Amino acid sequence: MFENNRILLNLKKKLKINTPRVEGIVKKSNKGFGFLEINSKNSYFIPPKKIKKVMHGDKIIARIGFSKNREIVIPEKLVEPFLNTFVGRLQKINKKLFIIPDYPFLKEFIPCNFLLKDKLSYESGDWFLAKLTKHKLKDNNVFHAEIIKFISKKKDPFTQWFVTLTKHGLKSSEPKCKIKKNILFDENFKKRKDLTHLNFITIDSNNTQDIDDAVFIKKVENDCLELTVAISDVTSYVNYNSELDIIASKRGFTNYLPGFNIPMLPRFLSENLCSLQPYEKRPVLACTMIISKNGKIKKNSNFFLAWIKSHGKLSYKNVSDFLEKKSFWKPLNKKIEEQILLLYDFCISRIKWRKKNSLIFPDRNEYKFNLSKNCEILNISIEKRRIAHKIIEECMISANFIAANTLFKNKCLGLYNNHSGFDLSGANQISLLLIKKKIFINSKELLTLKGFCNLYRILENKKYKYLNSRIRRFQSFSEISFNPHPHYALGFKRYATWTSPIRKYGDLINHRFLKSMIFNKKPIFLKNDILQKISNQKRKHRLSEREIQDFLYIKYFKTKNLKNLIFNAEIFEVSKGGIRAKLLENGANIFIPNSFIHNIRSELDFNKEEGLIFINGKIFYKISDIIKVNLIDIRIDTKNIIAKPIIKLK
């Protein structure tokens, strides 16, 4: 009777039109439940039958309704799918092909077909790049994908590396480009100074092959030192706007990952022709500077092109052991020994000067994964910055400092590294924090380079560890620009890197600017989009490195059966969900759920902004605390290491 009633149909249509809609992001739990998150405070339940039409992360419009006296939403329109081009594992079921996306909350088996010709050689578990072509919310209730690129066989020991790199749009092999061997594009090579007779040395890790820098130092009058920093002249082989230059500009950096690296330039250049290998004549861009006894760099520095030969490939370990008298290693001859001792004097004087007049990087441990050929984790070692690291660091920082000032004074274009310190809002909040500790630096001072440096010299005191951790959260990020501004984190008015052109395209750009200054030529005009490209690539490299590290930590803890062992950990983040901390023994990040902190939830209070956890109104944990933890669970799907606190140490 009512089946084809026009009045009733029109009424239903009208009611549907007037029903309120909301837009949000789909969030699925591990148990399959789903919600539409409108903002940080509001979300709606999606019924189990309807959640199957969407994926975790989809941006949708949904209709609000009611079920069992509960407000729900019904997905109606797809605004933006979470998946577009994605990485996944192939699965063959009853001669049908499916691809499973590589995301923790995506469990869908998406039907797929190949766009590749040799599909018969692939098997379940192999990894591919795919593109979502159909979505259930708009394509007749169907998900579908097309496989567009092979990534890795499931049995390849480097599968996770290839998957991660592909996910972030990064290359997994060196550039393929035809190179004319031993041909210098630089038309000014005849004007190079011949410094091959000087005792230049290089100091790097034992396994470093792409050697950018060499140094030579000597005593001069008035107890001063003259340091020459020689940097591989990559632009003599990589001509502007050539095929190789375009490839390098797109890659931006050499990608250093545990187990292997992917060079920005072909290895024939990066590890051979451009590398400052011992006893090989190489073209360089060099800078000479005079350093007074108190560590100040004098103003008569200059840049020039030269030929050099490295007279010794030294390692950080051996040089540090020699200076710290921790082994029987000695330099090959007295001339190299003299270089090491003079470089040590230079380093100490520069550190003293920078502590007083700028800022020094705090010493932080780095953690190294030592892998077998099959990517098995042998161990995780702590890499401390020793004296040889500091020597080379001071040489390069000094050279970069001079480059920035030289380009600026000669009114030349330059690619500068800027760091703006705090913004006005942050400075105001920091000033209030300081007053509580009886440190009187007002917000106006904090916005100046001098005030910023004074603050961090005060915060070096260990009693301000918590305050230091809080204040660092207000700091801006460094950025690159063609306009020079202060680098607050270093304490310099200007800073421009040029000392790693084999590994960083931005440094290669500055080589071209410095050369245009040397030969009084107009610099090559560059579009501003190169800055965004370099920044984007840097971000991608960091994300890929972090993802590989997370994978290796999970694998390490699973393989070594480290569950239930006790570790020291430093808290670096507090949230409503719990605590994030770093294990000091190996660098792994852990998560402590709030249920493990205190068993009565109503007595717990989290202050994320201040990095504090209260129990019954009293501060119990804070960021920078060192605590003992017991590992409870290793979750492979979400790459989380779950821990439980035992006792707070300090």
- Give the active site residue among 58, 210, 245, 321: 210
- Give the active site residue among 212, 233, 507, 625: 212
Which of left, alpha, beta for 102 (phi over 0: left; psi -120 to 50: alpha)?
A: beta
Here the tokens at position 40 are 């940080």
- Give the active site residue among 44, 103, 122, 316: 316
One-letter amino acid for residue 247 of the chain: I
Q: Judge whether 212 counts as a catalytic residue.
A: yes
Given a contact cutoff of 8 angstroms between Cβ atoms, the answer to whether 267 and 543 are in contact is no
- Give the active site residue among 204, 245, 321, 507: 204
Q: Judge whether 204 counts as a catalytic residue.
A: yes
- Could you tell me which residues are beta bridge partners of residue 200? 310
One-letter amino acid for residue 203 of the chain: I
Q: Judge whether 637 counts as a catalytic residue.
A: no
- Could you tell me which residues are beta bridge partners of residue 583? 569
By CB neighbour count within 10 A (0-12 exposed, 13-18 middle, 19+ buried), where does 96 fall?
exposed
Q: Closest Cα partner for 49 from 112, 136, 144, 132?
A: 136
The residue written with tokens 């797809």 in the block is 78
Helical residues (DSSP H) of 19-95, grouped into ranges: 48-51
How many C-beta atoms surround the C-beta of residue 432 within 10 A? Answer: 9
Given a contact cutoff of 8 angstroms between Cβ atoms, the answer to whether 291 and 297 are in contact is yes
Given a contact cutoff of 8 angstroms between Cβ atoms, the answer to whether 575 and 606 are in contact is yes
One-letter amino acid for residue 357 of the chain: N
Q: Judge whether 245 counts as a catalytic residue.
A: no
- Give the active site residue among 321, 503, 505, 512: 503
- Dihedral angle over CA of 554, 559, 562, 568, nearest 10: -50
- Give the active site residue among 58, 213, 233, 625: 213
CA angle 218, 219, 220 (to 5 degrees): 120
Here the tokens at position 494 are 């200007």
Here the tokens at position 578 are 């719990």
Q: Judge whether 102 counts as a catalytic residue.
A: no
One-letter amino acid for residue 348 of the chain: I
Given a contact cutoff of 8 angstroms between Cβ atoms, the answer to whether 78 and 25 are in contact is no
Given a contact cutoff of 8 angstroms between Cβ atoms, the answer to whether 329 and 337 are in contact is no
By CB neighbour count within 10 A (0-12 exposed, 13-18 middle, 19+ buried), where does 31 fall?
exposed
Distances (CA, A) of 144 to 98, 110, 113, 374: 9, 6, 8, 35
Q: Judge whether 503 counts as a catalytic residue.
A: yes
Question: How far apart (Å, rounded) are the C-alpha atoms in residues 141 and 126?
Answer: 27
How far from chain centre, in Å, is Cα 567? 26
Q: Closest Cα partner for 630 from 615, 641, 614?
A: 641
Catalytic residues: 204, 210, 212-213, 316, 503
